[in-house]
Amino acid sequence: MRPDLRLRARRRPLWGTATAAHQIEGNNVNSDFWLAENVAPTLFREPSGDACDSYHRYPEDVALAAELGFNAYRFGIEWARIEPEPGAFSDAELDHYARVLEACHAHGLAPMVTLSHWTVPRWFAARGGFEAEDSAELFGRFAERVALRLGPLMAAATTFNECNIGRLVRVMFRLDSPRAVAARQAMFVACAQACGSDRWASVLFADIDKSEAHQIDAHQRAVEALKAGPGDYPVGLTIAMQAVEGVGPDHRAQSMTEVINGPWIDAAAPCDFVGVQTYTRMRVGPEGAERTAAGYEFYPQALGATIRFAAEAIGKPIYVTENGIATNDDSRRIAYIDAALAEVRTAIADGLDVRGYFHWSLLDNFEWTFGYAQRFGLIEVDRRTFARKAKPSAVHLGRIARQAGARSAR
């Protein structure tokens, strides 16, 4: 292990890419999402299956990221692998993630670890997920076990990915409509029956009235566990932030921002840093705007607004932990990257404490309910052979990262 990589997360700008365990590893059979993808009815377009087979091919992925010019890698560890049954922790799986971390160090990548990127063990979902009264305690126990084994190898860590995702998806996809509620409930019933349970709860589709307070408690317990050591690294929280723009004199942009963020701004305040995750803006109109393959407006300038919001509202160092675009036209990805990075540079020039940029994503991967239709990756992955092929955007962003790293080292 090379401890200078831990210090790099504090002293040098981090340029990296981001991934999530379930989206790239494949065959995450003990997770709630794996089950939800494979029951009927389901909201998922297709199952994740082998995904990108990164569980086995992580050495290649880490090496590719380093070869392209990045100095950091944000990735998730999978709770469902580490604790497949309640209280049954797998030393072999913890060793696996230790090897991923060691591979990052060997290739000069500072690893930022995400404890929970939406997925949970199926046993946890079958007992009510974060709706259960003791859910925070269980997550804290998991975080403690992770910290004891992996803490010395981490450069930085975050507890929950997009902690406010349950709020955001309801606004963006109108999940409170009667039709959406019925479809979601039908999938939950199928999942519960498959587990022999009378309940089922998912982070992505959470009932925040029942789960959010417990999840905040879980975040706080996880921070305490990670900070207790061993290891010495900053711990943060990532928030899905939208640049909400009002249109007309009676707009409700402020109230919409409050609805999306909820209590998570206050929860992030005690952390060492906040992760800003931004893809677009939210506003009425405009008609005829360019749309990405994910249906978002093509608006990389939103990142500047959310960085400034986070700096003012939270007042902690900032990492852009996700930013990217779903597109089959890689020239538009390059244009998006350039415009987004212009916002980052302006924010830094204005004195904001922005310490890194992680692009979503390293690989074309499994995009949750949308399956494999949306391509966010800098690297193309053959769905049959798993062969990796860097896109022009990967070379472009990697060159920027390498040049920035050379300047910061002077």
Q: Please identify every residue annotated as catalytic.
A: 162
Q: Write out the two tokens for 230.
A: 């061993």
Of 63, 57, 235, nearest to 147 (Cα)? 235
| Cα separation, 352 vs 308, whole angstroms | 8
Are 278 and 320 in contact by the 8 Å Cβ rule? The answer is: yes
Element (H, E) at 326: none
DSSP string, 349-384: HTT--EEEEEEE-SB----GGGTTS----SEEE-TT
| CA 291 to mean position of chain CA atoms | 22
| Cα separation, 406 vs 315, whole angstroms | 28
Beta bridge partners of 160: 116
| Cα separation, 21 vs 239, whole angstroms | 18
Of 48, 137, 33, 40, nearest to 365 (Cα)? 48
| Cα separation, 292 vs 163, whole angstroms | 24
Are 143 and 226 in contact by the 8 Å Cβ rule? The answer is: yes
Please list, in sequence order, all residues whose beta carbon lies within 8 angstroms of the beta carbon of residue 256, skipping any fewer than 6 positions away: 171, 244, 282
- Collapsing DSSP to helix, strand or coil, 57 comes out as helix
Please list, in sequence order, all residues whose beta carbon lies within 8 angstroms of the beta carbon of residue 325, skipping any fewer than 6 positions away: 279, 292, 294, 296, 298, 300, 332, 333, 336, 376
312: left (phi over 0), alpha (psi -120 to 50) or beta: alpha
